[in-house]
Structure 1
Amino acid sequence: MREFVSLKVLDRFQALFERLGVDYPMMRKILQIKLTIDGRRMPTIFNQSGKRSGAGDQNIFAKSLGLYALMGLVTVPFVVMGDNYMFQMSFVFGLLMFLVMTSLISDFSTVLLDIRDRNIIASKPVNRRTVGMAKTLHILIYLFFLTGALCAAPMIAAFAKHGVLFFLLFVVEIVLTDVLIVVLTAFLYMLILKFFDGEKLKDMINNVQIMLSVAITVGYQFIGRSFDLMQLQVVFEPRWWQAFIPPLWFGATFEWFLRGQAAPHFIIFSLLAFVTPIVSILLYTRLVPFFERSLQKLANDSAKKSREHSRWLDVVSRFVCSGREERTFFRFGSLMMGNEREFKLKVYPSLGFSIVFPFIFFFNVLRNQSFGEIAASKWYLNIYFCALLIPTVIMMLRYSGKHKGSWLYKTMPLPSPAPIFRGTIKAFLVRLFMPVYLLESVIFIALFGARIVPDLIVVALSVLLYAVLCFLVFRKALPFSESFEAVKQNDSLIIIPLLLLLALFAGVHLASTLVTGGVYAYMALLVVLNVVLWRKGFAISWDDLRGKE
């Protein structure tokens, strides 16, 4: 098993651990196993990647630290921009707290919520103090590397720009921030487990993973724009409610200690920055027994199925599906997309991208044109960006964390798999795409006026046609029948020409607006093409699928 540098450092403190009643060799072995597992776990920031590597010596977590270090660069302009420490460092700590806490929840909840120690290790001759110390050190090692990667660039910039005292205070504040984040995360878990079951907590963790993936992608858009803020003059006006915003506490310490700003609000915020993490960790140690008892709820799979949701699917399926078999797989596909966590983690970030990208490009244009000019233009065709998720989702529809249940397909007396594919793709369009498209349509109508309604209908028809074309291009496999481990890089490469095809749809639409009545003629053509392709495009036999296995 691989030796870790962090364990070699801990070896120097073996005598100290043994004085605390810890069985050090046993604790070291537990940590070594846990760190090895961490190295093989796929971080959330890589959740869109292809096939996972199963090599035992390949530390994927270590590779993810490079990406976190790159993300930390966004804070550098705020560290060096001037001497308004309250604004600069509040922003820096706000961003760091968000990234560390979301990463802790998304990728390291298995540490805070690990019940395997109770079921496996606790049944062996290992004292509880050893297990508890291993768990604590595991969290601290993770946070050390994560915050070290995120803060490496801003700490170097702080030392070069502001000197040693600023640097040392920055380091102390980062440590206090980590303590506060761990305790707040644990309290959040305790609160949820107090009133809800383990399934609710698992759903929350999954949603945070999705949010982190979207936030990282969107965050890249602001790296270049961050430098525009260097000329801003920001004036801080104290309010009572600011005492509940931790980043302001840490920003205030720099004003008080380094600039001598002794206003009451700076002193109060600074005291909160030092006292709150210390008090919270002491309180957490007293609540650990309650927390451990609450974790037992995670062992109880008590999720209840919603009958109302099932009725809603029945009603919708009668409108969009043409037969009983198709309606069955419409409901099946919709339930799988809504309930399977691993599928949501792989696919749902694309929903966030589809919502955000049209407006990112829109605001880029707004920097060079007035709002009135944009409202009178044809920039509403940006809404085609909401269809970016379609190739990704259709490619991922064949994968599932529960793919072993796909033997059920072989028991169904269907002459053709066409209803399976057609029903599942319709479920995707109704459940995932249409809410995004309708939301953006309402916003775009508010921005550009009712004149774009025919164009929005054309976009919807184009997307329906585009979905079938994407299905025809990708390798055919039954929905949810393959493991995520089988994701092929070649499939991901096919997405690139499909995105160019989407751009072609937008180009043809733009050309139709240049001709009187062209939009309506193009609309009629799309209706005909949709009718033909939705009927003929799924003409696949069982032999075709067997031939590609």
Structure 2
Amino acid sequence: MYEPRSLKLLDRLQGLFSRLGIDYPVMRRILQVKLTMDARRVPTIVGKSKQSSDSSTMNERNQFVRSLWVYAIYGALCSVFMWVGDNYFFQMSLTFGILMFIIMTSLISDFSSVLLDIRDRNILATKPVHRRTLAMAKALHICIYLIMLTGAIASIPLATALIKYGIVFFLIFVVELILMNLLIVALTALIYLTVLKFFDGEKLKDIINYVQIGLTIAMTIGYQLLSRMFNLIDIQVTIQPKWYQFYIIPVWFAAPFESVLHRNGNLIFTVFSLLGLVIPILAFMIYIRLMPSMERHLQKLADPGGRPSRGRGRLPYWLSRIFCSSPQEQGFFRLAWSMMGNERDFKLKVYPILGFSIIFPFIFLFGSGLGGGISELRGTGKYLFIYFSGAMISTIIMMLQYSSKYKASWIYKALPISDKVQIYRGTLVAAFVRLIMPLFILQGIIFCFLFGVVIIPDLITAGLGMLLYTAVCHFLLHNNLPFSRPFEAVQQSAGIKTLPLMLLLGGFGVLHLVMTRIHYGVYAYTLLLIVLNFFVWHPNRKLFGKLTRRVGQE
């Protein structure tokens, strides 16, 4: 069995665990199994490279450890802020903001299964294993993961701190990283516990997905607020104290550098420093105290939940009749609708992407600030930032190939399907109607409030552009039947394919901007998009089928 090096380090502390009442040999074996399973799981950030012909060799490779170089690259980008100037508060606030964002999103996307693992209770709780041993194994599992993850991300920033600022700066950095990780684990677990307490079964699992999306959005917005805290005047960074700054967590961990090394006795830095010391320790103590309660509530994850109401199937039924022509296409529309709404792994990987699509237009819209208020937006062309809501369409379309229930794809061959193009078209239309169109409509309503109803023709044009862009993404990315491949087969090169498609979406936006400079240009562009969408999407036209078959043959 796979033998992690971290276990060999723990062996030196065997006596300490024994004095704490921990059955060390049992705990070690549990950890070894957990880490072996982690080694075979592919991290979200890198996907999976080509499948090896020797599956046993592939299984023994630690995919997470092999992915740490990607996190190290992010850490190298963070260290850039540490080389510029000597304003420790500004530099370290940005550094900790980026570090917290990367670590917390990675914890959400790749390691929620550890915090929400019920296998210990189902398998080991019936065996003669003490509850304290199980709790320690789970806590160490999380700590080992975070140490490797944080070590990879912070290795270059720590080296920069030691070389440029000295040993004291380095030691403060290490302490603050430990406190930051304590707070991340505690906050994530306590949010999950709150959800677990009030909900159960399938509803709970849905809410957990939404909480993960909310955390991702909150971290992104928090990073934007962090960058707005500072005013850059003549290369000198100044801070203007505001009440909301006490809720921006990265500044808590940056303040000690200013207080200790620059001996800045400003009250605001002292308060930030105390918050960064007290809150993480207090939150982690609360988490440890509530861990038995969380273990009890985790059992709700095994509950199947109540039966869905009969009315829930009516919406996809009516939508399929509106947007699809043939009965077969309508059937695959409803199948894809159900898969996207019910499959846990798909939602866990795709729904956070939708969260980014929601906030990207507003990040760029308000990126330069609004000194004159919302009224200064009227009459400008900034409403074209709504194209950023489609930045993740290519990734969503790419993920339609994958499913945790991929073994059921034999149904495609068993059914008497006259043309497999109907499978692709029904699935693609369902993805657009369920995932993309509602977000665009919501953002369009907000943009109408900000810019006025005069932009409605431009919003219609942008919507038609995204509809055409969705079809183009399908033609360039899809060569497998929907939901027919495992998530473990996601290749790193597949993610790279989406980058040129994002540039293509930018081309739609630039062309739209050019047309706004021409008299009746927007209406001409809208007419062109209508014609193109008609030829691409119309069921009686063969263009969709020809392009889909050509991609499938490639």
Both structures adopt the same fold (TM-score exceeding 0.5): yes
Equivalent residue, structure 2, for 1:337: 340
Q: 1:527 to 1:287 in 2, by over 3 A?
A: closer
CA contact (8 A) 2:401 2:478 kept: no
Does residue 106 in structure 1 map to residue 98 in structure 2? no
Equivalent residue, structure 2, for 1:193: 196
More divergent stretch after superposition (381-390 vs 312-321): 381-390
2-structure distance, mates of 1:139, 1:298: 20
2-structure distance, mates of 1:532, 1:245: 50
CA contact (8 A) 1:106 1:208 kept: no
1:318-374 C-alpha deviation (Å, 9 max, x unpaired) = 43333554444333322322322322344445545655666777789999xxx9999
2-structure distance, mates of 1:376, 1:443: 16
Equivalent residue, structure 1, for 2:542: 537
2-structure distance, mates of 1:266, 1:227: 14
User: What is the deviation of 1:301?
Assistant: 2.5
Equivalent residue, structure 2, for 1:177: 180
CA contact (8 A) 1:44 1:212 kept: no
Q: 1:389 to 1:156 in 2, by over 3 A?
A: closer
1:45 counterpart SS class: coil
Q: 1:380 to 1:16 in 2, by over 3 A?
A: closer
Does residue 70 in structure 1 map to residue 73 in structure 2? yes
What code does the residue aligned with 1:431 have?
Answer: R
Percent identity of paired positions between Structure 1 and Structure 2: 51
What code does the residue aligned with 1:188 have?
Answer: I
Q: 1:209 to 1:275 in 2, by over 3 A?
A: closer
1:163-197 C-alpha deviation (Å, 9 max, x unpaired) = 32332223223223322332333322221111112
What code does the residue aligned with 2:404 have?
Answer: G
What code does the residue aligned with 2:241 have?
Answer: E
1:248-275 C-alpha deviation (Å, 9 max, x unpaired) = 4434444444444556655555444434
Equivalent residue, structure 2, for 1:39: 39
What code does the residue aligned with 1:287 have?
Answer: L
Equivalent residue, structure 1, for 2:151: 148
Q: Which structure 1 segments of 5+ residues have no match?
A: none
CA contact (8 A) 2:82 2:161 kept: yes
2-structure distance, mates of 1:153, 1:105: 24
Does residue 234 in structure 1 map to residue 245 in structure 2? no
- Out of 463, 482, 486, which is 1:483 matched to? 486
CA contact (8 A) 2:230 2:238 kept: no
What code does the residue aligned with 1:68 have?
Answer: Y
User: What is the deviation of 1:297?
Assistant: 1.2
1-structure distance, mates of 2:499, 2:140: 44
* Matched ranges for 1:496-511 at <5 A: none
- Out of 416, 423, 428, which is 1:425 matched to? 428
2-structure distance, mates of 1:132, 1:7: 17
Larger Rg: 1
Q: 1:4 to 1:95 in 2, by over 3 A?
A: same
1:411-442 C-alpha deviation (Å, 9 max, x unpaired) = 65654445443332222222222234334545
2-structure distance, mates of 1:281, 1:358: 36
How many positions carry a matched residue from both structures?
Answer: 541
CA contact (8 A) 1:105 1:208 kept: no
Equivalent residue, structure 1, for 2:64: 61
1-structure distance, mates of 2:267, 2:376: 48
Q: Which structure 2 segments of 5+ residues have no match?
A: none
1-structure distance, mates of 2:105, 2:273: 25
1-structure distance, mates of 2:504, 2:62: 37
1-structure distance, mates of 2:506, 2:119: 50
Q: 1:454 to 1:100 in 2, by over 3 A?
A: closer
* Matched ranges for 1:342-381 at <5 A: 342-348=345-351, 350-351=353-354
* Matched ranges for 1:326-475 at <5 A: 326-348=329-351, 350-351=353-354, 386-409=389-412, 415-442=418-445, 453-472=456-475
1:106-141 C-alpha deviation (Å, 9 max, x unpaired) = 322222222222222333343333333222222222
1:196-246 C-alpha deviation (Å, 9 max, x unpaired) = 125455445545666788899999999x9999969243235375x766655
